[in-house]
Chains A and B, each alone.
Chain A
Amino acid sequence: MSENSSAEGAAVVQEIVAAFPSGRGSLIPILQEIQRRQGYISPEALKALERLTGISATEAYGVATFYTQFRFTRPGRHKIQVCNGTACHVRGGAQVLEELERRLGISVGQTTPDGQFSLERVACLGCCALSPVVAVDGKVYAGMTPKKVPGVLREYAAQATQSARQEK
């Protein structure tokens, strides 16, 4: 992280901390908000948090690692969540995940080298009646099959090239 953006990051953390009541009960909500804004919990964010709240970075890290929601590496531009709940498991969710891994060339928990996609396995997205289910950036795709995987990925790959073009 460049010095500039890490200073920016610290300012964001400061803003977030100020918005919550002081006290231990706010730790998890603050971490959630940091992750929502910055995409993950960076060591810099934990340090800023320590300065602002007095909760040590190790302590906060210990709490955060207990919960599967928190990530500690920068996520891809698009977040793919594959449901691993029971309903999705019995209707072939694992095959969908494998196809995604194969197409993206990464394993679950990783991000593609170009930073476009990260792949996560989650327990139940609450759409069990339409299983198996995959969500990309929160948009839910129901009744998934390995065959539908390339089509879904293409939607986002197209978006990615488009926005790259716009940036130029």
Chain B
Amino acid sequence: MDGLNIRRRMAEERWSALMSGAESVFFVGAATCGMAAGAEAVIDRLERDIARYGLNARVIRAGCLGPCCFEPIMIVRRQGLPECCYGPVDADAAGSILERHVMGGELCPEWSLGVMTAEGYGDIPSFWDHPMMRGQVRRVLVNCGVIDPEDPDHYLARGGYLGLERALGMTPEAVIEEVLASGLRGRGGAGFPTGKKWQFARAAEGSPKYLICNADEGDPGAFMNRSLLEGDPHAVLEGMLIAGYAIGASEGYIYCRAEYPLAIRRLERAIEQMRELGVLGERILGTDFSFDLHIKQGAGAFVCGEETALIASIEGLRGMPRPKPPFPAQRGLWGKPTVIQNVETLGNLPHILRNGAAWFAEVGTPQSRGTKTFALAGKVARTGLIEVPLGTPLRQIVMEIGGGMVSGKAPKAVQTGGPSGGCIPAEKFDLPVDYESLGAAGSIMGSGGMIVLDEDSCMVDIARYFLTFTQQESCGKCVPCRIGTRAMLQLLENISKGQGRPEDLRQLEEIAETVKMGSLCGLGQTAPNPVLTTLRYFRNEYEEHIEKSQCAAFACRKLVWYRIDPDRCKGCGVCLRVCPAEAIEGEKGEPHRIIDEKCIHCGTCVTACPPSSAAIYRESGDLKRIEARRQLASTVS
């Protein structure tokens, strides 16, 4: 292991020069989110200005720091000042910060999110005390956003591959014991104890054995795995080595969705670097352990996140699940014992091996140990990637870390677990986020997607949305899954069009049971969850749709009617011109009118009506009722 130790000493020197040297450093968040928010323009400007002023400074493209809603984000390091995190910054702000912070030697409070030290600095508080960061515990994400993910020295200098070194000094059985003792459970959805899965695979007959990293991240609305792969690829790969050693595998596959090109590029680079470091290939670090890695790109099928379907896909077949047992740990890829782990599960392993099982178990609950990352999105004010101890109450995540609703309205529910999960209502926000509590509430932990919904979200629409997804993604092998999801979707569509019948709710529940019981794989078994939880907690909304043709959130399009307020309408005719259905009539200068029979409920007119008039409003409900209500109101007044 001497080679690696020499390299680590060099890496540490380079890192400490970076952290305290005369050269200034801009760490710009350049993960997918950062790029979407405009990081490239920031980087261009910084590089131009560095050249123009001839500064001793450079720009590093870092990964996701977490508070994505403040992107583009950058951390600036300059000798004599504490590191400071700024965001959101555009090119001009970056130029000013370069002049003031780096050249002028002063911090810029107007863009600051906080200094990176534990204590504040003057008037500027610590970044870690920012309401979005307080309450988070960064373990898996410890390197994300603060290192150059393409520079292996950064990873090494911060303790990288120490976990592997320790593991290789132990017997595989002892490594499994350590992971068992830590209480680590799979982060990909089901929460199966990782150590136990390894025991099965280690004991299984057959060789070679395979290890697969599940980076398919199929939950549409989740990006934890993407962020980790982009921000700290070596951590996941080190985890793969540790797992591979423990189960006796000699080959590993990373099954990554093709929609993540940056993650794939970072993985490819990291794999090359591992070979240079001597931690991949034959006789790793001079031991008897040999291991090699391949990347496979997913081809866009949600069901391929399921273990047996994923294996079929790597084998070049249609990605259809098969019955278990035999479990992949017994007969998996090419018929050999195979362990499949989620990206985040693997990302935890280097820390467990480096710091020990007891350290890992310090946070979390007795049943759900450690931390979990969540992709916080939807209607919350602060969206991004967070990491909290398991057992953290939902309220803290939504209201404190997430800062409540962006609209200022009341929260309605949180959707966890994506298409396999459910909606937890605001009344239950005291619920601790752990595997058992979420399960008892009818949802699942899932891989970490967390979509917050407010009063403007319709629960029938959410259920319909997920069923549309699962119905499309069902591989079609099982009749209950194929036909049942379609039947449920049909009922939900009827309800969302105001054509539902009171008995539909019963029928939805009945079909849901059949689909749950009669499906082969997790997709079918969990597909009814979004419907069942919304029926359980928001039945009144379904009833409103059925009985009154009303969608209070104005989300079910066919139930929304558009109205022009004659007192506000100036007759400018803008709406009339944009309406794709020619459903608006009126003379120039006179109040306009919408013809309900022609209107296709697209809402274009609302956005088109000039803000000075803002004459178009929405109503929902049965037209006859709306009319009756209006007449009642006019007789009263």
Question: Residue B604 at the A interface, CB < 8 A?
Answer: yes
CB distance from A80 to the nearest CB of B (A): 15
A123:B36 contact, CB within 8 angstroms: no
Residues of chain B contacted by A109 (CB below 8 angstroms): none
Which residues 107-149 of A sit at the B interface, judged by CB distance below 8 A?
Answer: 122-131, 133, 138, 140-142, 146-147
B451:A86 contact, CB within 8 angstroms: yes
B302:A130 contact, CB within 8 angstroms: no
B220:A123 contact, CB within 8 angstroms: yes
Q: A124-B222, A126-B217 are contacts. A86–B378 as well, Cβ < 8 Å?
A: yes
Q: How far is the CA of A161 from the CA of B217 in the complex (A)?
A: 38
Residues of chain A contacted by B388 (CB below 8 angstroms): none
Question: Residue A77 at the B interface, CB < 8 A?
Answer: no
Q: A68-B301, A69-B258, A123-B469 are contacts. A147–B607 as well, Cβ < 8 Å?
A: yes
Residues of chain B contacted by A129 (CB below 8 angstroms): 33, 68-69, 71, 223, 375-377, 383-385
Question: Residue A43 at the B interface, CB < 8 A?
Answer: no
Question: Residue A14 at the B interface, CB < 8 A?
Answer: no
Question: Residue B259 at the A interface, CB < 8 A?
Answer: yes
Question: Residue A63 at the B interface, CB < 8 A?
Answer: yes
Residues of chain B contacted by A147 (CB below 8 angstroms): 607
Residues of chain B contacted by A91 (CB below 8 angstroms): 378-379
Q: How far is the CA of A31 from the CA of B223 in the complex (A)?
A: 26
The 0/1 profile, CB within 8 Å of A marked 1, for residues 438-465 of chain B is 0000000000010101000100001001
A28:B453 contact, CB within 8 angstroms: no
Name the residue on B nearest A90 (C-beta).
B378
A90:B457 contact, CB within 8 angstroms: yes
Question: Residue B589 at the A interface, CB < 8 A?
Answer: no
Q: Give the one of B217, B220, B384, B462 with max A CB within 10 A.
A: B220
Name the residue on B nearest A26 (C-beta).
B316
Name the residue on A nearest B320 (C-beta).
A66
Neighbour of B261 across the interface among A24, A89, A123, A138, CB < 8 A: A138
The 0/1 profile, CB within 8 Å of A marked 1, for residues 248-287 of chain B is 0000000000111100000000000000000000000000
Q: A70-B299, A123-B302 are contacts. A140–B259 as well, Cβ < 8 Å?
A: no
Residues of chain A contacted by B218 (CB below 8 angstroms): 123
Which residues 39-92 of A sit at the B interface, judged by CB distance below 8 A?
Answer: 62-63, 66-70, 84-91
Name the residue on A nearest B253 (C-beta).
A25
CB distance from B190 to the nearest CB of A (A): 20
Q: A85-B221, A102-B580 are contacts. A25–B315 as well, Cβ < 8 Å?
A: yes
CB distance from B623 to the nearest CB of A (A): 23
Name the residue on A nearest B375 (C-beta).
A128
Neighbour of A130 across the interface among B36, B226, B258, B378, CB < 8 A: B36
Residues of chain A contacted by B315 (CB below 8 angstroms): 24-25
Residues of chain A contacted by B316 (CB below 8 angstroms): 23-28, 63
Question: Residue B297 at the A interface, CB < 8 A?
Answer: yes
The 0/1 profile, CB within 8 Å of A marked 1, for residues 220-262 of chain B is 1111001000000000000000000000000000000011110
Question: Residue B300 at the A interface, CB < 8 A?
Answer: yes
Q: A24-B316, A25-B316, A129-B383 are contacts. A86–B259 as well, Cβ < 8 Å?
A: no
> How many of chain B's residues have a CB under 8 angstroms from any CB in A?
59
A124:B297 contact, CB within 8 angstroms: no
CB distance from A18 to the nearest CB of B (A): 17
The 0/1 profile, CB within 8 Å of A marked 1, for residues 416-428 of chain B is 0010000000000
Q: How far is the CA of A63 from the CA of B301 in the complex (A)?
A: 12
Q: How far is the CA of A95 from the CA of B580 in the complex (A)?
A: 14
Q: Give the one of A62, A125, A126 with max B CB within 10 A.
A: A126
CB distance from B297 to the nearest CB of A (A): 6
CB distance from A67 to the nearest CB of B (A): 4
Name the residue on B nearest A55 (C-beta).
B316
Residues of chain A contacted by B342 (CB below 8 angstroms): none
Residues of chain B contacted by A69 (CB below 8 angstroms): 258, 298-300
Q: Give the one of A23, A63, A84, A87 with max B CB within 10 A.
A: A87
Which residues 1-34 of A sit at the B interface, judged by CB distance below 8 A?
Answer: 23-29, 31-32
A87:B313 contact, CB within 8 angstroms: no
Question: Residue B32 at the A interface, CB < 8 A?
Answer: yes
Q: How far is the CA of A107 from the CA of B460 in the complex (A)?
A: 25
Residues of chain A contacted by B449 (CB below 8 angstroms): 86, 128
Q: How far is the CA of A33 from the CA of B261 in the complex (A)?
A: 14
A66:B318 contact, CB within 8 angstroms: yes
A95:B603 contact, CB within 8 angstroms: yes
CB distance from B456 to the nearest CB of A (A): 9
A32:B453 contact, CB within 8 angstroms: no
B221:A32 contact, CB within 8 angstroms: no
CB distance from A31 to the nearest CB of B (A): 8
B259:A130 contact, CB within 8 angstroms: no
B314:A90 contact, CB within 8 angstroms: no
CB distance from A102 to the nearest CB of B (A): 6
Q: A90-B379, A140-B36 are contacts. A125–B259 as well, Cβ < 8 Å?
A: yes
B223:A128 contact, CB within 8 angstroms: yes
Question: Residue B415 at the A interface, CB < 8 A?
Answer: yes
B318:A86 contact, CB within 8 angstroms: no
Residues of chain B contacted by A70 (CB below 8 angstroms): 299
B36:A128 contact, CB within 8 angstroms: no
A68:B300 contact, CB within 8 angstroms: yes
Residues of chain A contacted by B319 (CB below 8 angstroms): 66-67
Residues of chain A contacted by B318 (CB below 8 angstroms): 62-63, 66
Name the residue on B nearest A65 (C-beta).
B318
Give the 6 A-B CB pairs with smallest separation, nearest first: A86-B221, A129-B68, A67-B299, A140-B36, A85-B220, A87-B377
Provide 24 A-B residue pairs closer than 8 Å at the C-beta atoms, listed in order of the A residue: A24-B316, A28-B299, A28-B316, A29-B296, A63-B318, A66-B320, A69-B299, A69-B300, A70-B299, A86-B220, A86-B377, A87-B383, A89-B465, A122-B300, A123-B220, A126-B217, A127-B32, A128-B383, A129-B376, A129-B385, A130-B71, A131-B378, A142-B33, A146-B607
Apart from A95-B603, A133-B36, 14 more pairs, CB < 8 Å: A25-B316, A29-B296, A62-B318, A63-B318, A66-B301, A69-B258, A86-B377, A86-B378, A90-B378, A123-B302, A124-B259, A125-B259, A130-B383, A140-B36
